[in-house]
Amino acid sequence: MPDPIALVPLPQSVIWSEGTWVTDDPWDSLSVGLSEGLGRTEYSLSISPDGASLAAGSEAALADGRNTFAQIVSGAAGSIPCVTIHDHPKHAWRGMMLDVSRHFRTVPELETMIDAMALHRLNVLHLHLTDDQGWRLEVRGYPKLTEVGAWRDQTLIGHHQAEAGTWEFDGTPHGGYYTQDELRGLVEYARRRGIMIVPEVDLPGHMQAAIASYPELGNNPEVQLGVRQVWGISDHVLGVADEVFDFLRDVLTQVADIFPGPYVHIGGDECPRVEWERSSAARARMNEWGLTRVSEIQGRFTSFAAEVLAEHGKRVVAWDEVLESHLPDDTVVMNWRRAAGLKESTARGFQTVIANSEHTYFDYYQGDPDEEPLAIGGLTTVEDVYTADLVPGRLDGDQHKLLIGLQGQLWSEYMPTAQQVQYMAFPRMCALAERAWGSPEQSWEEFEERLRAHLPRLDAFGISYRPLD
Ligand code: ACM
């Protein structure tokens, strides 16, 4: 049984009082309403012996309040402690990224993740929908993306090694994709729980699954590639023909229509240039575009994607490599490579999400690698997530205001099952949620105590978390 007072994340103000509210059906008896007296992100929850009421300044804040109420009642068995809570988040973006390309997750598995995120008052699910190893999104007019690009014949066993000679494969096909109707359903499921889904179409690199589906999207249309079966970074990136840009327009237009939120993530990370360097078509394009360096080609893709998305009223989100190009002023930069990069993106005036690999990559080991399931590498314990200095160096006040939130990353190369995703996500996600919410500062020891008392809530959700040491 969870301790009802072990709230994670800790609300901004919590005052427990004597007495209990006795009820068999707390949800039916909770009175809920919007209140003009509260700010848009604020909610106020009151539980007394006479009943419980929740007021908030917006639907989003009501969802936050409901999620706090859920934590309290989940451990209370008919006799609920009395409390007054006033609360609001510090950060607008409280996210988790889930890579469904490297390993596909079913819609019910995503719903479980959404439920668990809501319990922790996280509000952004960033879905990494496309990559070299699998294309997961139905796009009308491009059936091969899901007939071909959503499936790989087999998957590398063990750690990725650079030399092909050492590779061993499992011989088992893997794949799957989401129809547009399924994605719309998921968007609605998440919305009802206060969570926005931000879709990612990673471009112009990480595109091998699309190029395997339609070789004319690549730099060597005469070569038939397969969907990638190993990890690491593929050299096969988008080509520069007009039809590639037509393809991107179609994909982004449909994505903008499926996902009603204001953001679309266009990736932009890890785009090798070797194919462009060897391509006469790319050189001809550079002349036409007035570019002098091959490295500038990526900027054309970024600008094109941003223009298409702007036509649909969407803002671009992208990994921090895009800082090498010109960007629309309203771009949201996801700082992943080094926390020191926060300085550049905020100095240039971009809203920025802290997603750095040092502290928010939940594909890293969370304990001794000899005793943990295979992971990509690194070491980020739950204590690291709770205590790390996420903004090293000095940012001035205006730059700080541009840090709009925090996000954990679940890259899934080494997470073949939903249980493994959960094991890597929890309890690190609990620590991330508390920091993203901006809870009053507590020591790691105090947090750990609350976390131990909170873990039975995860049990109740059927979440396979990693036990605390
Ligand atoms: C990334 O980890 N390639 C964003």
What pLDDT, in 10s, does the model give residues 59-112? 999 999 999 999 999 888 889 999 999 999 999 999 999 999 999 999 999 999
Which architecture characterizes domain 93-459 according to CATH?
A: Alpha-Beta Barrel (3.20)
What size, in residues, is the chain? Answer: 469
Give the pLDDT of residue 342: 95
* 333 alpha carbon – ligand 1 mean position (Å): 13
* Residue 147 CB-density burial (10 A; 0-12 exposed, 13-18 middle, 19+ buried): exposed
Ligand 1 within 6 A of 362 CB?
Answer: no
The domain ranges of the chain are 7-87, 93-459
Give the pLDDT of residue 445: 98
For 7-87, the fitting CATH number among 3.30.379.10, 1.10.8.50, 3.30.470.10, 3.30.750.24 is 3.30.379.10
Ligand 1 within 6 A of 376 CB?
Answer: no
Indicate the top mutation candidate among 411, 412, 414 to test ligand 1's pocket, ranked by most ligand atoms within 8 A of CB.
411
User: Which residue's CA lies nearest to atom 2 of ligand 1?
Assistant: 336
Secondary structure letter of residue 331 according to DSSP: P
Give the pLDDT of residue 392: 85
The separation between CA 175 and the C-alpha centre of its own chain, rounded to angstroms, equals 20
Structure tokens at 122: 């996280």
pLDDT digits 0-9 by tens, 418-461: 999 999 999 999 999 999 999 999 999 999 999 999 999 999 98
Closest by CA to 128, choosing from 407, 429, 412, 424, is 412
pLDDT > 90? residue 160: no
Ligand 1 within 6 A of 372 CB?
Answer: no
Specify the pTM.
0.98
- H-type helices in 78-227, by residue range? 107-119, 144-147, 180-192, 208-213
Cis peptide leading into residue 108 (ω within 30°): no
Atom of ligand 1 nearest to the CA of 319: 4
Secondary structure letter of residue 35 according to DSSP: -
Ligand 1 within 6 A of 364 CB?
Answer: no
What is the C-alpha to C-alpha distance for residues 443 and 424, in angstroms, rounded to an integer? 23
What is the C-alpha to C-alpha distance for residues 209 and 191, in angstroms, rounded to an integer? 30
Atom of ligand 1 nearest to the CA of 409: 2
Structure tokens at 64: 């936050």
Confidence of residue 46 (pLDDT cuts 50, 70, 90): very high
Cis peptide leading into residue 81 (ω within 30°): no
Ligand 1 within 6 A of 269 CB?
Answer: yes
Rounded percentage of the chain residues whose pLDDT exceeds 70: 100
Considering the candidates 128, 206, 236, 454, report the single residue annotated as catalytic. Answer: 206
* 148 alpha carbon – ligand 1 mean position (Å): 24
pLDDT digits 0-9 by tens, 354-407: 999 999 999 999 999 999 999 999 999 999 999 999 998 889 999 999 999 999
What is the C-alpha to C-alpha distance for residues 159 and 452, in angstroms, rounded to an integer? 32
Secondary structure letter of residue 468 according to DSSP: P
Instruction: Establish whether domains 7-87 and 93-459 are of one fold.
Output: no
166-173's contacts with Cβ under 8 Å and 24+ in sequence apart are 167/230, 169/229
What is the C-alpha to C-alpha distance for residues 432 and 94, in angstroms, rounded to an integer? 9
Report the first-to-last Cα separation within the chain, whole angstroms.
Answer: 20
User: Which residue's CA lies nearest to atom 3 of ligand 1?
Assistant: 269
pLDDT digits 0-9 by tens, 161-179: 877 788 999 999 999 999 9
